[in-house]
């Protein structure tokens, strides 16, 4: 039987990867800021529409804005970590889904043990 499992992707910090990660995090942050502005605009537009519950619109948009702001806080945390960690450190940057083969007799602990993909300068150096 096969199951789908999420595992982290870790980046080994080098001067080159640090620069690329900073750019990536800043681009994502900018994208979330733009989405927040767009959501606020859409919220105002919907609130003015007749026959639409303002309270429902506020609740729905509030949830979406909250999600974006949480992502922005997470990116800020990752940027802070990126600037504090020395070269050679591993920083969790993503998460991917993998298919794991499970057969009768496998130890569940082994199937669920910590696994990760470690990347250095764009090259996978370890998949455990």
pLDDT in tens, 101-127: 899 999 888 888 878 999 999 999 998
Position 39 pLDDT exceeds 90: yes
- Considering the chain, what percentage of its residues have pLDDT values greater than 90? 69
Task: Tell me the H-state helices in the chain.
Answer: 15-47, 54-84, 108-112
pLDDT of residue 47: 87
pTM: 0.72
pLDDT for the residue numbered 36: 95
State residue 67's pLDDT score. Answer: 95
Calpha distance 80→102 (Å, rounded): 39
pLDDT of residue 24: 92
| Domain assignments of the chain as residue spans, ordered by start | 2-127
Model confidence pLDDT, tens digit, residues 44-72:
998 888 888 888 889 999 999 999 999 99
pLDDT at 75: 92
Mean pLDDT, the chain, whole residue set: 91
Phi and psi at 72, nearest 5°, equal: -65, -40
Instruction: Answer yes or no: are the C-beta atoms of 32 and 68 closer than 8 Å.
Output: yes
Is the pLDDT at 128 greater than 80? The verdict is no
Q: Is pLDDT above 80 for 97? A: yes
Q: Is residue 88's pLDDT more than 90?
A: yes
């Amino acid at each position: 039987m096969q199951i789908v499992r999420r595992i982290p992707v870790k980046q080994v910090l080098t001067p080159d990867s640090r620069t690329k990660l900073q750019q990536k995090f800043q681009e994502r942050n900018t994208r979330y800021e733009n989405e927040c502005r767009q959501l606020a605009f859409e919220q105002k537009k919907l609130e003015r529409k007749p026959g639409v519950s303002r309270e429902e619109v506020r609740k729905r948009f509030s949830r979406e804005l909250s999600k974006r702001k949480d992502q922005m806080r997470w990116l800020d945390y990752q940027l802070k970590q990126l600037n504090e960690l020395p070269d050679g450190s591993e920083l969790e940057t993503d998460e991917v889904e993998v298919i794991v083969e499970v057969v009768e007799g496998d130890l569940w602990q082994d199937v669920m043990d910590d696994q990760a993909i470690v990347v250095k300068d764009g090259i996978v150096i370890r998949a455990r």
